[in-house]
Amino acid sequence: MNSSSVVGLRLEDLSVRYPQSSENALDRITLEIRGGGITALAGPNGCGKTTLLRAASGVMAPVSGRAVCAGQDRPIHRLPPERRARLLAVVPQMAGLPSGFTVEEAVMMGRISFHGWFRSESAADREAVSRAIAAVGLDGLAHTSVEKLSGGMQQRALIARALAQEASILLMDEPTAHLDVRYQLDTFELLRSFAHGHGFAVAVAMHDLNLVSRFADRVILLARGRVAHDGPPRAVMTAGILSPLFDHPMHVIPHPLHGYPLILSDGGGRNSKAEVRGAVRRRAGAAEDFRRIKGSG
pLDDT-based confidence at residue 117 (cuts at 50, 70, 90):
low
pLDDT-based confidence at residue 30 (cuts at 50, 70, 90):
very high
- C-alpha span between 289 and 284 (Å, rounded): 9
- C-alpha span between 212 and 221 (Å, rounded): 11
Domains of the chain: 7-95+166-266 (3.40.50.300)
Express each pLDDT in 210-253 by its tens digit.
Answer: 999 999 999 999 999 999 999 999 999 999 999 999 999 999 99
Q: Is the pLDDT of residue 130 over 80?
A: yes
- C-alpha span between 105 and 123 (Å, rounded): 14
Q: Is the pLDDT of residue 285 over 60?
A: no
| Mean per-residue pLDDT of the chain | 85
- pTM here? 0.82
Q: Is the pLDDT of residue 271 over 60?
A: no
Counting residues of the chain whose pLDDT is more than 90, the rounded percentage is 57
pLDDT-based confidence at residue 116 (cuts at 50, 70, 90):
low
Tell me the mean pLDDT in the region 79-101: 84
